[in-house]
Amino acid sequence: MADRHRGPLIVGTGIAGLYIAIRARELGLKPELVTKARLEESNTRYAQGGIAAAIGRDDSVQRHFRDTVRAGAGLVDRPAARVLTSEAPARIADLVRLGVPFDTIDGQIQLGREAAHSRARILHAGGDATGYSIEESLRHRVLEMGIEARERTILREIRSRGSDPPEAVVSAADGTGIETLERRPLVLATGGAGSLYRQSTNPSVTTGDGVAVAFRAGAIVSDLEFFQFHPTVFFRTGAPRFLITEALRGEGAVLRNVHGDRFLPAIHPDGELAPRDVVSRAIASEIERTGHPCVYLDATEIPRDRLYTRFPSVCRFLATFGLDPARDRIPVAPVAHYTIGGVSTDTDGRTSLPGVYAGGEVASTGVHGANRLGSNSLLEGLVFGERIARDLLHPSAGGPHPPRPPTPIPWPAGAGGPEDPGRIDELRDRLWREVGIVRTAAGLTAAVRAFDRMRSALEPTRAETPAGPGANAALVSSLIARAALARTESRGSHYRSDYPMPEPRWARRLYWIRQGPAG
Per-residue b or e along 42-57, where b marks 16 or more CB atoms closer than 10 Å to that residue's CB: bbbbbbbbbbbbbbee
Distance from C-alpha of 44 to C-alpha of 53, rounded to nearest angstrom = 17
Contact 198, 429 (CB under 8 A): yes
Per-residue b or e along 331-368, where b marks 16 or more CB atoms closer than 10 Å to that residue's CB: bbbbbbbbbbbbbbbbbbbbbbbbbbbbbbbbbbbbbb
Distance from C-alpha of 119 to C-alpha of 483, rounded to nearest angstrom = 34
> Residue 55 — pLDDT band, cuts 50, 70, 90?
very high
- Residues recognised as catalytic: 276
Q: Give the mean model confidence (pLDDT) for residues 297-318.
A: 95
- Rounded to the nearest integer, the mean pLDDT of the chain is 93
pLDDT given at position 517: 61
pLDDT given at position 61: 98
Q: Give the mean model confidence (pLDDT) for residues 305-334.
A: 96
> Residue 2 — pLDDT band, cuts 50, 70, 90?
very low
Structural domains of the chain sorted by starting position, each given as residue range(s) with its CATH number in brackets: 21-226+340-396+407-519 (3.50.50.60), 229-336 (3.90.700.10)
What are 24-34's pLDDT values in tens digits? 999 999 999 99
pLDDT given at position 482: 98
Is it the case that residue 1 has pLDDT exceeding 50? no
Q: How far is CA 70 from CA 127, 229, 266, in A?
A: 27, 18, 21
Angle between helices 78-97 and 61-71 (to 10 degrees): 120
> Residue 46 — pLDDT band, cuts 50, 70, 90?
low
Q: Of 414, 378, 469, which is closest to residue 46 (Cα–Cα)? A: 378
pLDDT given at position 73: 94
> Residue 36 — pLDDT band, cuts 50, 70, 90?
very high
Distance from C-alpha of 353 to C-alpha of 217, rounded to nearest angstrom = 8
Beta bridge partners of 169: 157, 180
pLDDT given at position 306: 94
What are 345-374's pLDDT values in tens digits? 999 999 999 999 999 999 999 999 999 998
Contact 392, 185 (CB under 8 A): yes
Q: Give the mean model confidence (pLDDT) for residues 295-324.
A: 96
Q: Is 150 exposed, middle or buried, given 0-12, 13-18 or 19+ CB atoms closer than 10 A?
A: middle
Q: Give the mean model confidence (pLDDT) for residues 28-41.
A: 90
**Percentage of the chain modeled with pLDDT above 90:** 81
Q: Of 360, 368, 354, 361, which is closest to residue 400 (Cα–Cα)? A: 354
Is it the case that residue 435 has pLDDT exceeding 90? yes
> Residue 500 — pLDDT band, cuts 50, 70, 90?
very high
pLDDT given at position 414: 80
What are 180-201's pLDDT values in tens digits? 999 999 999 999 999 999 999 9
What is the CA 275 to chain-centroid distance, rounded? Answer: 17
Distance from C-alpha of 430 to C-alpha of 425, rounded to nearest angstrom = 9
What are 242-255's pLDDT values in tens digits? 999 888 998 999 99
Beta-strand ranges (E) seen in 246-355 are 254-256, 295-298, 330-339, 342-344
Distance from C-alpha of 10 to C-alpha of 177, rounded to nearest angstrom = 19
pLDDT given at position 43: 65
pLDDT given at position 3: 45
Beta-strand ranges (E) seen in 110-222 are 111-112, 122-123, 148-150, 153-159, 167-172, 179-181, 186-188, 221-222
**Percentage of the chain modeled with pLDDT above 70:** 98
Lowest mean pLDDT among 139-153, 347-361, 396-410, 496-510: 396-410
Q: Alpha helices, DSSP H only, in 47-116?
A: 61-71, 78-97
